[in-house]
Amino acid sequence: MATIIDGKLISEQIQNEIAIEVQSIAEQGGKIPHLAAILVGSDGASETYVGAKVKACEKIGFESTLIRLPESTTEEDLIRKIGELNNDPGIDGYIVQLPLPKHINEQKIIEAVDPKKDVDGFHPQSVGRMALNLPTYLPATPYGIIQLLERYNIETSGKHCVVIGRSNIVGSPMSILMARNAAPGNCTVTLTHSRTKNLKEFTLKADILIVALGKAEFLTADMVKDGVVVIDVGITRLPSDKTKSGYKLFGDVKYDEVAAKASFITPVPGGVGPMTIASLLMNTLKASKKEVYR
Ligand code: NAP
């Protein structure tokens, strides 16, 4: 039976470690890390995500600033606000919560962020530096997965890693990170997507499977070999009459049957999900300590 990778626990551990470091920075009279977040409009899910990020900052002793802008904010207004944050020496890093209203070009906004403050790791410069194995801010979900592999001492060197999904925020960066000459890393990577033919032929050969396609319980036991390491990134919310809330969260992996064959597996919820906030806080600490750009 597989070892369950406890993302909630690791995320809490990381946050405790950061809290201790912040306390010692404060005791020495150093600058307290300061994260800002811009939220445009009032999308319910975005409110929840930003709220959780601000709360996590407070808990570990970071300073945080939440900038709320109305739905009607123009692209020019938002770029002006971003310029202010870029030039504010008090702010170490900031995020612009996505998605943005339709009338704003997201890519333009991502590129307006000063790469030195790009704690979401979405700026093309951050992505390029990641590909070149230079110090950078890694995007939250892939950074979280790397932390899980590292903290569970999962050997990756020389392994065959199959990634399902090639999005800019998960699959593609994950394939880059696993192939880098780094630890974790040094895998032989196969990046698969919706045009991949005979996907099962690849998944059956995987030592490590990173599943990020957004289809509930897609990966079944007949698609994996014994001893595989499975990282399930998917989160799909489906109606359920068995829960109080009226819905249930599903990963991209048929958990029970795959867990029976795997050596390590992340559950949903409680696996990759809780790691994203820890990643953002790690990036903000790096920004504050000028570890990426000296
Ligand atoms: P996305 O942008 O929708 O990308 C999905 C990818 O899966 C695409 O590259 C797509 O291929 C590929 N795909 C779709 N059907 C496939 C199939 N049958 N076989 C192989 N590949 C297939 O999704 P995303 O943003 O990466 O998110 C993926 C899942 O992770 C979602 O459930 C999302 O909610 C979840 N997620 C979780 C976290 C977390 O913190 N746990 C963070 C981010 C996302 P094409 O490129 O060819 O279309």
Ligand 1: atom nearest CA of 276 is 40
Predicted confidence at residue 270, as pLDDT, reads: 97
Ligand 1 centre to CA of 160 (Å) is: 20
In sequence order, the 6+-apart residues with CB closer than 8 A to the CB of 10 are: 147, 148, 151, 274, 275, 278
CB-based pocket (< 6 A), ligand 1: 141, 164-167, 169-171, 192-196, 199, 212-215, 233-236, 272-273, 276
Predicted confidence at residue 170, as pLDDT, reads: 98
* Structural domains of the chain, with CATH: 29-115 (3.40.50.10860), 140-273 (3.40.50.720)
Alpha-helical runs (H) found in 88-170: 106-112, 124-131, 140-151
Token pair, residue 233, equals 């990134």
Predicted confidence at residue 61, as pLDDT, reads: 98
Q: Let me know if 53 is a catalytic residue.
A: yes
> Is 39 strand, coil or helix?
strand
E strands within the chain?
3-4, 34-40, 63-69, 93-96, 160-164, 188-192, 208-211, 229-232, 236-239, 247-250, 264-265
Locus of tokens 């979401």 = 120
In sequence order, the 6+-apart residues with CB closer than 8 A to the CB of 120 are: 95, 96, 113, 137, 139, 140, 280, 283
In sequence order, the 6+-apart residues with CB closer than 8 A to the CB of 195 are: none
Annotated catalytic residue within 6, 15, 53, 117: 53
What's the rounded Cα separation, in Å, for the pair 113 and 111? 5
Predicted confidence at residue 18, as pLDDT, reads: 98
Site to substitute for ligand 1 among 8, 233, 250, 276, most atoms within 8 A of C-beta: 233
What's the rounded Cα separation, in Å, for the pair 37 and 94? 5
Instruction: List, run by run, the mean pLDDT of 10-residue segments along the chain (294 residues).
Output: 96 98 97 98 93 95 98 98 98 97 98 98 98 97 98 98 98 98 98 98 99 98 98 96 94 98 98 97 98 93
Predicted confidence at residue 85, as pLDDT, reads: 98
Q: Let me know if 97 is a catalytic residue.
A: yes
Predicted confidence at residue 1, as pLDDT, reads: 82
Predicted confidence at residue 105, as pLDDT, reads: 98
Predicted confidence at residue 274, as pLDDT, reads: 96
Ligand 1 centre to CA of 173 (Å) is: 13
CB neighbour class for 106 (10 Å; exposed up to 12, middle 13-18, buried from 19): middle
3-state helix, strand, coil split of the chain in percent (to 5) is 40, 15, 45
Predicted confidence at residue 294, as pLDDT, reads: 84
